[in-house]
Amino acid sequence: MITRATKTLLALLALLAAAALLSACTPVAAWERGTLAKPEMALTPDPLDAALHDHVYFSKEASSGGNSASGGGCGCN
């Protein structure tokens, strides 16, 4: 029978092991970002199109904020 304390300890040990393994995380150096800089790597391939979609979205949802397009959510701008 595994007690709750043992489970917690095992979970902690697993996390510690994960932490140790993740210690190799490293940022991409500034001079190695050639591939990331390619247009096809952009999150929004067409910024204007994305802004229009955002605008329609917040107008329909009567919400604002969190997106790049401006407006108050009234759908009138």
Partner 1 sequence: MRLTPLLASLLVAATCTATTALALDLGAAAPAFSLPGLRPQDSKTTINLADFRGKVVYVDFWASWCGPCQVSFPLLSELRNRLVKDGKPFELIAIDVDKKPADGLDFLSEHPVQYVVVSDPAGATPAKFEVKGMPTAFLLDGNGTIRLIHQGFKSNDIKLIEAEVQKLLSEK
For position 40 contacting partner 1 by CB under 8 A, the verdict is no
Question: What burial letters (b/e) apply to 35-51, b meaning 16+ CB within 10 Å?
Answer: eeeeeeeeeeeeeeebe
Query: From the CB of 52, what's the least distance to partner 1, in Å?
Result: 23
Query: From the CB of 20, what's the least distance to partner 1, in Å?
Result: 7
Q: Tell me the CA distances in angstroms from 18 to 10, 15, 21, 25, 38, one per residue in order.
A: 12, 5, 5, 12, 32
Contact range with partner 1 by CB under 8 A, out of 28-36, 42-50, 60-68, 69-77: 28-36
* Residues binding partner 1 (CB under 8 A): 5, 8, 11-12, 15-16, 18-20, 22-23, 25-27, 29-34, 37-38
